[in-house]
Amino acid sequence: QVHLQESGPGLVKPSETLSLICSVSGGSISSDYWTWIRQSPGKGLEWIGYMYHSGGTDYNPSLKTRVTISIDKSKNQFSLKLSSVTAADTGVYYCARDRYDSGMDLWGKGTTVTVSS
Amino acid sequence: DIVMTQTPRSLSVTPGQPASISCKSSQSLVHSHGKTYLYWYLQKPGQSPQLLIYGVSNRFSGVPDRFRGSGSGTEFTLEIRRVEAEDVGIYYCMQTIQLPFSFGPGTRVDVK
């Protein structure tokens, strides 16, 4: 059974870069779309972006200048980097597997990130 | 950007009774090839969201058949035929036809 697990610092200082990793176990990362979504009280669920198995990416235009999603197939994990963070980036960050038109069928448990000095 | 709206924003239902949630999109979610990119997710208390319905009306594996999705174009509905205690949580609709993909604000369902 495939499981996703987010990891990374729970506290990031303003203007620094938020870095999270999603580890995929029980299955290969060599297919499907690998997605990051966040949830904050002020903005609900927000789609951040995804990387396709082929290496292409799509990002939310509102975050595009600050976000990078990458895949490390050798470690079966994918990552999120969000630069120049502010308090508005505080929230729970989820990784998920998107089977394109079949929806996001697997989600990690989420990791809470707080942006504060 | 496509804006997703949901009504009602909260719902309190007696177990065994039906429930219905409406989702509307600001633009059509129908692709030129005919597929409609509308999904429903449920976030149970303390959990991450889980997929219920994809492509408007297709139940994800393991989702009970008391859940039914319907609709077309810009108007969609999620119906729960007979609500059970385990159905409590926040229901979100989501579109993936156009970037940025977007969620509705959610409908909180609780059981009386």
CB contact under 8 A, A46 and B103: yes
CB contact under 8 A, B54 and A47: no
Chain B contact for A56 (CB, 8 A cutoff): no
Whether residue A31 has pLDDT greater than 90: no
Which residues on chain A are in Cβ contact (under 8 Å) with B53? 103
Which residue in the set B37, B61, B102 is minimally distant from A101, CB to CB? B37
Chain A contact for B69 (CB, 8 A cutoff): no
* One-character DSSP codes across A43-61: TEEEEEEEEETTS-EEE-T
Q: Nearest-CA neighbor of A100 among B97, B71, B106?
A: B97
> For residues B6 and B107, is the Cβ–Cβ distance under 8 A?
yes
- As a whole number of angstroms, the distance between CA A66 and CA B33 comes to 33
CB contact under 8 A, B100 and A61: yes
CB contact under 8 A, B48 and A108: yes
Chain A contact for B57 (CB, 8 A cutoff): no
Which residue in the set B60, B101, B102 is minimally distant from A105, CB to CB? B60
pLDDT at A45 (0 to 100): 97
Whether residue A100 has pLDDT greater than 90: no
Whether residue B96 has pLDDT greater than 90: yes
pLDDT at A43 (0 to 100): 75
Q: CB-based burial of residue A106 (10 Å sphere; 0-12 exposed, 13-18 middle, 19+ buried)?
A: buried
Which residues are registered as beta bridge partners of A37? Answer: A47, A94
pLDDT at A101 (0 to 100): 87
For residue B39, give both structure tokens.
Answer: 């999904």
- As a whole number of angstroms, the distance between CA B77 and CA B72 comes to 9
pLDDT per residue over B1-46, tens digit each? 999 999 999 999 999 999 999 999 999 999 999 999 999 999 999 9
Q: Which residue has the higher pLDDT, A100 or A109?
A: A109
pLDDT at A15 (0 to 100): 97
Task: Tell me what percent of the residues of chain A surpass a pLDDT of 70.
Answer: 100
> For residues A94 and A40, is the Cβ–Cβ distance under 8 A?
no
Chain A contact for B16 (CB, 8 A cutoff): no
CB contact under 8 A, A61 and B37: no
Query: CA-based angle B6:B11:B12, to the nearest 5?
Result: 170
pLDDT at B26 (0 to 100): 98
With cut-offs at 50, 70 and 90, classify the pLDDT of residue A41: confident
With cut-offs at 50, 70 and 90, classify the pLDDT of residue B86: very high
Q: Nearest-CA neighbor of B58 among A1, A107, A103, A106?
A: A103
Chain A contact for B102 (CB, 8 A cutoff): yes
Whether residue A42 has pLDDT greater than 80: no
Q: Which residue has the higher pLDDT, A15 or A42?
A: A15
> For residues B9 and B107, is the Cβ–Cβ distance under 8 A?
yes
